[in-house]
Amino acid sequence: MSLYFPFKSLLAASVIGFTDIQPIITAIEAQFSVTTMVQVLAAAMAIAIGFVFMWWAGRKVIKVIFAGARKGKVSV
């Protein structure tokens, strides 16, 4: 008893050589360079530093609000 598989031809083994993927590699190398990678890393670091400062400021604000609610006075 054999099962029917409609995409049986897709399972046939085929060898992919370097010449088959050469256009893809060339396109990727054209898109990315050292300067673009440095720009991406610099932007990511700037965003991360911004998030750290927002996290720090948020904790400070929450601390001031809760301290003010407990003691009845606000300090900075």
**Is 42 contained in some domain?**
yes
CA–CA dist 9, 69 (Å, integer): 71
In the predicted model, is pLDDT for residue 60 greater than 60?
yes
Residue 12 located in a structural domain? no
**Which residue is listed with tokens 């409609």?**
6
Q: Would 3 be classed as within a structural domain?
A: no
Q: Tell me, yes or no, whether 26 lies in a domain.
A: no
Structural domain includes residue 74:
yes
Query: CB under 8 Å to 67, separation ≥6 — which residues?
Result: 74, 75
Residue ranges making up the domain that contains 64 = 33-76
% of residues, the chain, pLDDT over 90:
33
75 pLDDT tier (thresholds 50, 70, 90): low
Tell me the pLDDT tens digit for each residue of 1-25: 455 556 666 556 567 788 888 998 8
Task: Supply the pTM of this predicted model.
Answer: 0.52
pLDDT at 32: 83
67 assigned to some structural domain: yes
Please give the tally of structural domains in the chain: 1
19 found inside a domain: no
Question: In the predicted model, what is the mean pLDDT of the chain?
Answer: 83
